[in-house]
């Protein structure tokens, strides 16, 4: 049965807004935080918060999209010259 009042959800359209250098830097920072956490250098609440942030860095690097860049129109992608 079809409902006329159904809400139509548009799929999220995420344009890439992260360049290669930005992605590499984020992965390096995430790796450093992970090593520091798992070696016991950073511990407690700060360690957990930084580890979660490192996970977000890796995730955003994999999809080449940073949600914090979008509202400000910020992009680190290189512009192709025609």
Tell whether the model's pLDDT for residue 80 goes beyond 90: no
Q: Hey, CA dihedral for 34, 36, 37, 42, is it positive or negative?
A: negative
Mean pLDDT of 10-25: 81
Mean pLDDT of 44-67: 95
Mean pLDDT of 4-12: 48
Mean pLDDT of 34-55: 96
| Residue-level pLDDT at 72 | 86
pTM of the predicted model over 0.85:
no
| Residue-level pLDDT at 82 | 62
Whether the Cβ atoms of residue 58 and residue 27 lie closer than 8 Å to each other: yes
How far lies 73's CA from each of 49, 60, 69, in Å? 27, 16, 6
């Amino acid at each position: 049965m079809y409902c006329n009042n159904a809400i139509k959800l548009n799929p999220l359209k995420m344009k890439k807004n992260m360049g290669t250098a930005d992605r590499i830097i984020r992965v390096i920072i995430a790796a450093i935080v992970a090593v520091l956490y798992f070696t016991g250098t950073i511990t407690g609440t700060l360690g957990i918060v930084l580890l979660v942030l490192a996970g977000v860095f890796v995730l955003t690097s994999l999809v080449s999209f940073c949600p914090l860049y979008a509202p400000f129109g910020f992009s680190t992608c290189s512009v192709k010259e025609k």
